[in-house]
Chain A
Amino acid sequence: MTHAITLHDITKSYDGFTAVDEFSLEVQRGTVFGLLGPNGAGKTTLIKILTTLMRPTLGDAFVEGHSVLTAGKEVRRMIGVVPQENNLDRYLTARENLALHAKLHGMRPAAYNPRIDELLDMTGLAARQYDFPDTFSGGMQRRLVVARALVHEPRVLFLDEPTTGLDPQSRRSLWDHIRGLRRSMTVFLTTHYMDEADALCDRIMIMDHGKTLADGTAGELKDAFSRAHTYQVEFRRDADRYQGVLAGLPFVKGVERDGSLFQITLADEESIKPLMDHLTGPDIRRICLKEPTLEDVFISLTGEKVRE
Chain B
Amino acid sequence: MFKGAFSIWGRDMLVLRRSIISELVSVIAYPLTLYLAFGFGLKGYITDVNGVPYPLFIAPGLISMTAVNAAFDESSWSMWFHRKVQRTIEEYRVTPVTVYDIVIGKIFSGFSQGAVKGTVVFLVILLLTPFRIEYAHLPMYLLCIALSSMTFSCLGTICGTVIDKPENIGRVQSVVIVPLIFMAGIFFPLSSYPPSILPLIQLLPTTAVFEGARDALLTGAIPSQYLVNLVLSAALCFTIAVYTFNRKMAE
Residues of chain A at the chain B interface (Cβ within 8 Å): 51-53, 55, 73, 76-77, 79, 81, 83, 85, 87-92, 96, 100-101, 103-106, 148
Q: Given A55-B250, A87-B87, A89-B86, are A77 and B11 neighbors across the interface (CB < 8 Å)?
A: no
Chain B residues closer than 8 Å to A52, beta-carbon distance: 93-94
Tell me, in angstroms, the Cα distance from A75 to B93 when the chains sit together. Answer: 11
A90 touches B86 (CB 8 A): yes
Contact with A along B46-81 (1 / 0, CB 8 A): 000000000000000000000000000000000000
Name the contact of A92 in the complex, choosing from B15, B90, B95 (C-beta under 8 A): B15
Tell me, in angstroms, the Cα distance from A80 to B4 when the chains sit together. Answer: 17
B94 touches A79 (CB 8 A): yes
Q: Apart from A55-B250, A81-B94, A105-B96, list 18 A-B contacts with CB within 8 A.
A: A53-B90, A53-B93, A53-B94, A73-B98, A76-B95, A83-B87, A87-B87, A87-B88, A87-B90, A91-B15, A96-B11, A100-B7, A104-B8, A104-B96, A104-B97, A105-B95, A106-B3, A148-B91
- Determine if B92 is an interface residue (Cβ-Cβ < 8 Å): yes
Mind listing 10 A-B residue pairs with CB under 8 Å? A76-B94, A76-B95, A89-B88, A92-B11, A92-B14, A92-B15, A101-B91, A104-B4, A104-B96, A105-B95
B95 touches A101 (CB 8 A): yes
Chain B residues closer than 8 Å to A91, beta-carbon distance: 15, 18
Residues of chain B at the chain A interface (Cβ within 8 Å): 3-4, 7-8, 10-11, 14-15, 18, 86-88, 90-98, 250
Q: How many A-B residue pairs have CB under 8 A?
A: 58
Q: Taking CB as reference atom, which chain A residue is nearest B251?
A: A54
A87 touches B96 (CB 8 A): no
Chain A CB within 10 Å, residue with most, of B10, B91, B93: B91
Q: Given A87-B87, A90-B86, are A51 and B94 neighbors across the interface (CB < 8 Å)?
A: yes
Shortest B23–chain A CB gap in Å is 13
Name the contact of B92 in the complex, choosing from A79, A92, A96, A104 (C-beta under 8 A): A104
Chain A residues closer than 8 Å to B94, beta-carbon distance: 51-53, 76, 79, 81
Chain A residues closer than 8 Å to B15, beta-carbon distance: 91-92
Shortest B140–chain A CB gap in Å is 36
Chain B residues closer than 8 Å to A101, beta-carbon distance: 91, 95
Tell me, in angstroms, the Cα distance from A79 to B93 when the chains sit together. Answer: 11
Chain A residues closer than 8 Å to B90, beta-carbon distance: 53, 83, 87
Tell me, in angstroms, the Cα distance from A51 to B8 when the chains sit together. Answer: 20
Shortest A173–chain B CB gap in Å is 23
Report the 3 A-B pairs with minimum CB-CB distance, sorted nearest first: A104-B95, A87-B87, A103-B7
Chain B residues closer than 8 Å to A85, beta-carbon distance: 87
Shortest A152–chain B CB gap in Å is 8
Shortest A30–chain B CB gap in Å is 21
Shortest A242–chain B CB gap in Å is 55
Chain A residues closer than 8 Å to B97, beta-carbon distance: 104
Tell me, in angstroms, the Cα distance from A215 to B145 when the chains sit together. Answer: 62
Tell me, in angstroms, the Cα distance from A106 to B96 when the chains sit together. Answer: 8
Shortest B90–chain A CB gap in Å is 6
Shortest B2–chain A CB gap in Å is 12
Tell me, in angstroms, the Cα distance from A165 to B7 when the chains sit together. Answer: 32
